[in-house]
Chains A and B, each alone.
Chain A
């Protein structure tokens, strides 16, 4: 398996897009931290950019890469290799490259300017989001044969997780504002990895005080070891489930 991972990563690094991504993140983070004098403020400003950019780049870049390497995959499938090995190697290579770019682009500035609990949580959840959205891209790309439709689907998925989901949640929140739904909101937040990351980081920087009663509920849940364990497990499930479904489909796919 490591062999194919090696070739996937070599191929990715040659495409330069991943380098540009790392560089853009690096410039963004350094400039944000240079403007804000307080590290926590810097983390919050960066948070909003990262929660927007990282899922978008991870999902679109991976989808485009998967369609562009259709020939490569076809070539590998005709060789004495297990389909599982091929697919998981591609996932590992993609996830590794995207996460590495994030680590360089955001990790280095955080190490320099904001080596605080909130900064570290931001780094970890950004890495997790990279993996999750690569995983979702694998699923979208394997299900849809047509390149344009596949990229369209991944843009829609990103739009859903980044914007539509929050709008839906707000809508539900207002509709049921007379009922005690605060505990339910924790469960609803688990349905969107971007929201989980946002809550995790905001709780670290004491902005949760501004979130009212719901903020207190979140603090109660995410502040405990038990709540943290569940959150980490949910994020891992968000990584594993889409790629597992995509693998199941890939094993039966006609190339």
Chain B
């Protein structure tokens, strides 16, 4: 569904994305993991057209994205830190998004809106909300328009355990709806139940892109966290050898 071809991006001297090529298909839940500053968020923002890569191309359903904007209709995005106009209330933000996307009320997905009980807080101003509540609004907005692609940047950060479980249930349900879901997270145990594929980013390039099952087999572990720990340890050893 999304094809990334040789994308490179540098901010000043810092090479954030280094010749990244990936193919992501529908029905998959892709876990995008890697250390801080490995380019995960920049990669996501490139897909969304928020960051303009210096070179490379991005295809959405086979069509080059370029300076297009219509393709974003099919993407729901939940940012790492949801930031909204301080003076707007939750209700106004939701109305504005409905207004922009022009999706009829009946076709909206209100599941998260209901389970997070946002209807009780519609009049609260965005500026007064806690980080967790803001995440709930972000999640709600990402899922509301039934997009074919869901991009979730650290979706569970700041959410309480109950809400985390509710969100995970929703993500699982959407995965079975043949959507493409891209998740970044540092909470690997959350990803264990969700991910079908794993992309591990390091220093601006994907180190590997494998199905979760294959990864577990190769490393001989049953948990994603352990598998990643193995790989990181191996990486560390390699580095150790080269520096000695």
A binding-site residues for B, Cβ under 8 Å: 3-4, 7, 10-11, 14-15, 68-72, 74-83, 251-255
Given contacts A77-B50, A78-B48, whether A14 and B69 have CB atoms under 8 Å apart is no
Inter-chain contact B100/A254, CB cutoff 8 Å: no
Chain A positions within 8 Å of B50 at CB level:
74, 77-78, 254-255
Chain A positions within 8 Å of B52 at CB level:
252-254
In this complex, what residue of B is CB-closest to A8? Answer: B85
Inter-chain contact A72/B85, CB cutoff 8 Å: yes
Chain A positions within 8 Å of B49 at CB level:
77
B binding-site residues for A, Cβ under 8 Å: 11, 45, 48-52, 67, 69-73, 77, 79, 83-88, 92, 96-97, 99-101
Given contacts A254-B50, A255-B50, whether A74 and B99 have CB atoms under 8 Å apart is no
Given contacts A15-B87, A75-B83, A252-B52, whether A80 and B45 have CB atoms under 8 Å apart is no
Counted as pairs of residues, one from A and one from B, with CB atoms less than 8 Å apart, the total is 59
28 A–B pairs (Cβ distance < 8 Å), ordered by A: A3-B99, A7-B96, A10-B92, A11-B87, A15-B87, A69-B85, A70-B83, A71-B83, A71-B84, A71-B85, A72-B84, A74-B50, A74-B83, A75-B83, A75-B84, A76-B100, A77-B48, A77-B49, A77-B50, A79-B97, A80-B69, A80-B73, A81-B72, A83-B69, A251-B67, A252-B52, A254-B11, A254-B52
Chain B positions within 8 Å of A14 at CB level:
87
Most buried by B among A3, A72, A79, A81: A79
Q: Which secondary structure dominates chain A's binding surface?
A: helix
Inter-chain contact B72/A78, CB cutoff 8 Å: yes
**How far in angstroms is the closest Cβ of chain A from B10?**
11
Chain B positions within 8 Å of A82 at CB level:
69
Chain B positions within 8 Å of A7 at CB level:
96
Query: CA A85 – CA B137 in complex, angstroms?
Result: 25
**How far in angstroms is the closest Cβ of chain A from B144?**
12
Inter-chain contact B79/A79, CB cutoff 8 Å: no
Chain A positions within 8 Å of B101 at CB level:
79-80
Query: CA A213 – CA B114 in complex, angstroms?
Result: 76
Given contacts A254-B51, A255-B50, whether A80 and B67 have CB atoms under 8 Å apart is no
In this complex, what residue of B is CB-closest to A13? Answer: B87
Query: CA A98 – CA B67 in complex, angstroms?
Result: 31
**How far in angstroms is the closest Cβ of chain A from B96?**
6
**How far in angstroms is the closest Cβ of chain B from A249?**
12
Inter-chain contact B72/A80, CB cutoff 8 Å: yes
Chain A positions within 8 Å of B96 at CB level:
7
